Structure 1
Amino acid sequence: MARIGLLNMSDGRDYVARDLVEHIDQATATLAQELRRAGHEVVVAPEIVWTNELATSQARWVADRRPDLTVFNYAVWAFPHFTMLAAEATTGPLLLMANIDPAQPGMVGMLAGGGALDQIGRRHSRAWGDITDPAVLGRVLTQVRAARAVQGLRGSTFGRIGGRPMGMNTAVANTDQWMRQFGVDVEEIDQWEIVRRSDNADSTRVKQAREWLERHGNVHYDGRQLTPELFERQIRAYYAMRELIDEWNLDFSGIKGQPELTTHFCTMDVAEAFLNDPYDWEGRKETHVCATEADMDGALTMQILKLLSGDPVLFADVRHYHADRDVWDLCNSGQHATWYAARSDDPAENLARTHFYPEVFFFPAGGASVHHLAAPGEATFARLTRREGRYRMHVARGAFELYDDATNEAMARQSTFEWPHAFTRLHTPATTFLERFGANHIHAVPGDHLAELQAVCLQLDVDFEAL
């Protein structure tokens, strides 16, 4: 649920404004009613704006209610400088909403006010038409969902566990820019905290977790790279991360992992997968976005997708392109939440399709890889990257695919079989993708979220690049 602030604009001539009150009140009641029916809270400014003083005072009244989105409603012609004054007193995302009525030119007022805002560089979105029309309501709700995601970022904290992994520049971002543009703080935490705190995990809880995974998943011990002791060490690392999240009030996080932990302690595959899952062995929980290789822009992309969709978010390398099928293998050690195996609310159904294989030679410390194949379905793919310091978001539509068992295995074995795989058909040519995509990591959630992501980019001053 979002909180929406509603401010009504009117004509600045007193003798005109008096005659428009009833019309504006009716339009306001209908707009507020439709937004409330959609499940949102609506706060309406007590007075209609028809003077300079009211433009500022009513906008400040709305701002004091801390709305996720502020809507300036134009049911009639409104003096444009009221929009300018109200926008100056408005914090956060702004939507201009107009009727389409030949008798009362609210559209004219919206265009005049919006044009004035453009001249001073004040970002805003616009909607118009009858709010009872599902298409019009849908456009407004797109802005509402985007605004809620944007406001959900502001004041949040990212936990960066470790530094830059293996010289990966695209995994590191400017903390000043994050605070200025997104309102996100970064807490730097050493990886030693995972090692140190893992010893504090309760042995009974750790054993019960291992046994639960053995019952519901498919654990393939080999006595060397994967033993019960190493599996429990990975579970202890998960509890260490949960402790850090609670202690430092982390809203989302990333773990460097390579090469220190993966060479000398264990991989973070189990911890990362179940942090991103909506459950663990102790029951249902909120997903916590955790990016491998402490990928900051990757984690930020994932957090936006989580705030928009409410679903676990996939993280993967763009590992391989099967040119004969026009299908990508999105694959990265341990990072896919097990939820993607079946996209089921029942953990047992997802884990029945999940295998815990011994880690491969890249990671001599050992532990379990969390292997499964992403269940088929439409998805939205996205990634924040930077060009000369300016943020852009690459966005594409596509779908996860599965084939017969023999084909699935043959395709997975062409890269690293033990890792999770998402066989993906993107709705963009491979040449376009490889020429323009600005990172090695990509992220996804089920469904179509292109419109919401475009709205998010507008509100955050990020360039939107549809692939």
Structure 2
Amino acid sequence: MSKKVAVFWPGDYRAKPNEWALPQSQETTGQLVAALKKLGRTPYVVEGYLTRPDQSIAKLGPIDDPMVGVYVHWTYAPHTVDGVVGKDNPLLLASNFSGTWPGLVALLNTGASLESVGRASSRVWTDAPDWTADAGFMERLDEWCTTGRITYDSGEIHDGPAVAADAAAISEQVLAEIRRKRILALMLGDTSMGMINGYFGPRLLYPIGFSEHKVDQAWLIERTKQVSQQRVDDAFQFVQDRGVTFHWGAQDATDFTADSTREQLRGYLAVLDLLDEFQADCLGWQYQLGLLKLLPPSDFAEGLLNSHARPEGNGHVVITSTEADQGNLVPMELMKRVLEAKGLAGSVMFHDVRWGAEHEGRWLWVLLNSGSCGAYAFNQDVSSLNGVHSYRQPAGYFPVAGGTFAGESLPGPITWARTWIDRQGELVMDLGRGESVSLPNDVREAWWGGTTRQWPFMAADLGCSKETIMAHYMSNHIAVAYGDIFSEMVALSRSLGFKIRVLSTGQPA
């Protein structure tokens, strides 16, 4: 492999997140350059953040040397993919494994996006203060420098196991419902922020029993004006009566007021009207970036839709996937149907795999996403919104004031899932069992405050190692449900024609 190595910075489209992350980008690049030099390589840095696809094409496209992308904050996948697709020079995605900014989230999303378009890449990460002193990291970097790729242990990746008769019966019940009436997903826009791995389209959706109907989310600008003030007032009273705690007018969020929440509820009601008009079963909501300066954030509305107790509701959740990510929308809707077929609450949470750490000898992931986590995670009461806190979305990301739908997830057994596109263009269902874990107050607050305190929080054991998630997981997003519906999801996924991967420390049963 060439001694010369290009180092580049994929970035956010928005200027403020790049500005916030600049010190980490510089520090991480310094560590990476020192490590490459120690291995006898000659690294050079591509100037500036790549903040648009055209910049990726212009700056990365001409490079034939091996390349390393630096991921320390959220970056859009096209800011890497569009410049490297169609090429075969060795490509490495490197992260500082920090929760401060969602760099790990960007690495996982970019890695999955590259996989979906058949572009080979490797991943490497470390949280060591001195990267050159991390023997495991240096060994992997040396492997990449020598061979152009890194091999990872795949011993925790399994095929789907045999399924017991009772689980198969539940699966057949859900399958029969889908065959009687296919699932219609209302898509408010396409996937947001460059999530190449999050859009499937009709060719992949039709065979698994789904259809999509796209509505330009610009409709919401006009549709919100049709929502009466009385409906907004009633919804506002509902969320207060059911227990939401609003943090209006906090010191760092003086523009977040009760009127901000009312406008978010107006958006929620407009979306309810669209769901009713098209008789849709579930929802993918782009929101970012197109509505950032036009309407308040969608997160509070998304949280309500994913809750049983909601204004003008029927006691059931409307599965809602933030960022219009169909890779989460599909398993979330299937999980909801399995849960309800078993007589359980049909609540499924949407999260980012944000960061992780060891606690009492156990590796736990911080699952954290700004929207689409319902109230059931915080109270396990289908009639209540207790435990929900609404903080102002950080202004650097969301210029129009509006609140989140946050809380601390309760402990308990979980089943998790994700759908992704492999190199053959086929859909794969990743599945696993795990546990939501209750942390001591000081640990929880340190982890939460070290990520984004305004967003919903879950500390989760995903039933497999850190290594397996970092090396093999094909998304930044994950769908999580309380209870054990693993076997039913294996059977249903198999019947619908998915390839199946089970991520587990032991042989799944």
Q: Shorter chain as normaliser: what TM range?
A: 0.5 to 0.7
Does the Cα contact within 8 Å between 1:393 and 1:464 map onto a contact in 2? yes
AA at the equivalent of 1:358: R
For residues 170 and 423 of structure 1, the distance between their equivalents in structure 2, rounded to whole angstroms, comes to: 25
For residues 240 and 211 of structure 2, the distance between their equivalents in structure 1, rounded to whole angstroms, comes to: 38
- Give the CA deviation at 1:190: 0.6
Secondary structure, aligned partner of 2:376: helix
For residues 392 and 292 of structure 2, the distance between their equivalents in structure 1, rounded to whole angstroms, comes to: 13
- Give the CA deviation at 1:407: 2.4
For residues 481 and 209 of structure 2, the distance between their equivalents in structure 1, rounded to whole angstroms, comes to: 23
Q: Give 1:458's aligned residue.
A: 494
Does the Cα contact within 8 Å between 2:187 and 2:212 map onto a contact in 1? yes
- Report the CA distance shift for 1:312/1:407 in structure 2 as closer, same or farther (over 3 A): same
Highest RCO, 1 vs 2 (Cα 8 Å, sep ≥ 6)? 2
> Is 1:163 paired with 2:179?
no
Does the Cα contact within 8 Å between 2:189 and 2:214 map onto a contact in 1? yes
For residues 283 and 152 of structure 1, the distance between their equivalents in structure 2, rounded to whole angstroms, comes to: 22
Does the Cα contact within 8 Å between 2:309 and 2:382 map onto a contact in 1? no
Secondary structure, aligned partner of 1:270: helix
1:290-309 to structure 2, matched below 5 A, reads 290-309=320-339
Q: Give 2:372's aligned residue.
A: 335
For residues 458 and 485 of structure 2, the distance between their equivalents in structure 1, rounded to whole angstroms, comes to: 19
AA at the equivalent of 2:406: H
> Is 1:217 paired with 2:244?
yes
Does the Cα contact within 8 Å between 1:152 and 1:307 map onto a contact in 2? no
Q: Which of 320, 338, 347 is the matching residue for 1:312?
A: 347
Q: Which of 424, 446, 458 is the matching residue for 2:482?
A: 446
For residues 242 and 160 of structure 1, the distance between their equivalents in structure 2, rounded to whole angstroms, comes to: 13
Could you report, residue by residue, the CA deviation over 1:317-345 in whole angstroms, capped at 9, with x for unpaired residues? 11111245511111110221011101113
AA at the equivalent of 1:307: R
Q: Give 2:456's aligned residue.
A: 420
Q: Which of 349, 363, 367 is the matching residue for 2:398?
A: 363
Does the Cα contact within 8 Å between 2:209 and 2:496 map onto a contact in 1? no
- Give the CA deviation at 1:285: 2.2
AA at the equivalent of 1:442: I
AA at the equivalent of 1:152: E
For residues 256 and 205 of structure 2, the distance between their equivalents in structure 1, rounded to whole angstroms, comes to: 39
For residues 409 and 346 of structure 1, the distance between their equivalents in structure 2, rounded to whole angstroms, comes to: 28
- Report the CA distance shift for 1:191/1:283 in structure 2 as closer, same or farther (over 3 A): closer
For residues 153 and 171 of structure 1, the distance between their equivalents in structure 2, rounded to whole angstroms, comes to: 22
For residues 205 and 390 of structure 2, the distance between their equivalents in structure 1, rounded to whole angstroms, comes to: 36
Secondary structure, aligned partner of 1:397: strand
Any unmatched runs of 5+ in structure 2?
1-159, 341-345, 504-509
AA at the equivalent of 1:271: A
Secondary structure, aligned partner of 2:330: helix
> Is 1:173 paired with 2:200?
yes
> Is 1:145 paired with 2:182?
no
Does the Cα contact within 8 Å between 2:350 and 2:371 map onto a contact in 1? no
TM-score, normalised relative to structure 2: 0.62
Q: Figure out how many residues of one structure are paired with residues of the other and give that number.
A: 329
- Give the CA deviation at 1:224: 4.0
- Report the CA distance shift for 1:283/1:438 in structure 2 as closer, same or farther (over 3 A): closer
Secondary structure, aligned partner of 2:292: helix
Secondary structure, aligned partner of 2:404: strand
More displaced, 412-421 or 208-217? 208-217
Does the Cα contact within 8 Å between 1:213 and 1:219 map onto a contact in 2? no
AA at the equivalent of 1:239: L
Could you report, residue by residue, the CA deviation over 1:238-286 in whole angstroms, capped at 9, with x for unpaired residues? 1011100010110111100111223331111111111111121456522
Could you report, residue by residue, the CA deviation over 1:107-140 in whole angstroms, capped at 9, with x for unpaired residues? xxxxxxxxxxxxxxxxxx999xxxxxxxxxx922
Q: Give 2:416's aligned residue.
A: 381
Q: Give 1:200's aligned residue.
A: 226
For residues 205 and 326 of structure 1, the distance between their equivalents in structure 2, rounded to whole angstroms, comes to: 46
Report the structure, 1 or 2, having the larger helix content: 1
Q: Give 2:431's aligned residue.
A: 395
For residues 423 and 257 of structure 1, the distance between their equivalents in structure 2, rounded to whole angstroms, comes to: 27
